[in-house]
Amino acid sequence: MNKTLIIMDEVDGMSSGDRGGISAIIDMIKKTKVPIICICNDRQATKIRSLAGHCYDIKYHKPNKKMVADRLADIIKL
């Protein structure tokens, strides 16, 4: 059985030149059973706030240098 997933990157950029883009994504989220991952850099953008009400919000933080070095060391050991 094939599983489908939609990934939409830079959704915060959609609001700058695209009219109705965010509302179209919200409509799609409401209607589809396919999981949709929306990625943005500016979570506080006004139009993203309306989208966020229809999403599970996960925040990621930039890893520090030690975390990156430790992870690279783990990968090298494999």
Output the pLDDT for position 34.
93
What is the pTM assigned to this prediction?
A: 0.68
Output the pLDDT for position 41.
86
Amino acid at 69: A
For the chain, the first-to-last Cα distance in angstroms comes to 31
How far is it, in rounded angstroms, from Cα 76 to Cα 74? 5
Tell the burial category of 46 from Cβ atoms under 10 Å away from its Cβ (0-12, 13-18, 19+).
Answer: exposed
Output the pLDDT for position 21.
83
Per-10-residue mean pLDDT, the chain, length 78: 89 71 89 92 83 88 94 92
